[in-house]
Amino acid sequence: IAAYSQNGHAREALEQFWQMQQEGLKPDSITFLCILDVCTSLVALTEGSLVHTSIVASGFESDIVLGTALVNM
């Protein structure tokens, strides 16, 4: 996901994130950070809101770095 994001393939990164979720793989805080950056670059607020819900459900709501990324989005 980070490689897609950093190389101008934000849509592909977002698709991989949702596929990961569908397959039951749990993202870590770094994955969430990368996908929030993708949502910000795409101005994808709906997707960003869904990612925020996933962050809370995964127990990362207190992560300061993720909180900052959410504010930036």
Q: Report CA Rg, the chain.
A: 11
The one-letter code for the residue type at 9 is H
Long-range pairs for 1-4 at CB < 8 Å and ≥24 separation?
A: 1/31, 1/34, 1/35, 1/38, 2/30, 2/31, 2/34, 4/38
36-54 confidence digits (pLDDT tens): 999 999 999 999 999 999 9
What is the number of H-type helices and E-type strands within the chain?
A: 5, 0
What is the model's pTM?
Answer: 0.91
Q: Which residues contact 28 (CB under 8 A, 6 or more apart)?
A: none
19-39 confidence digits (pLDDT tens): 999 999 999 999 999 999 999
Mean per-residue pLDDT of the chain: 94
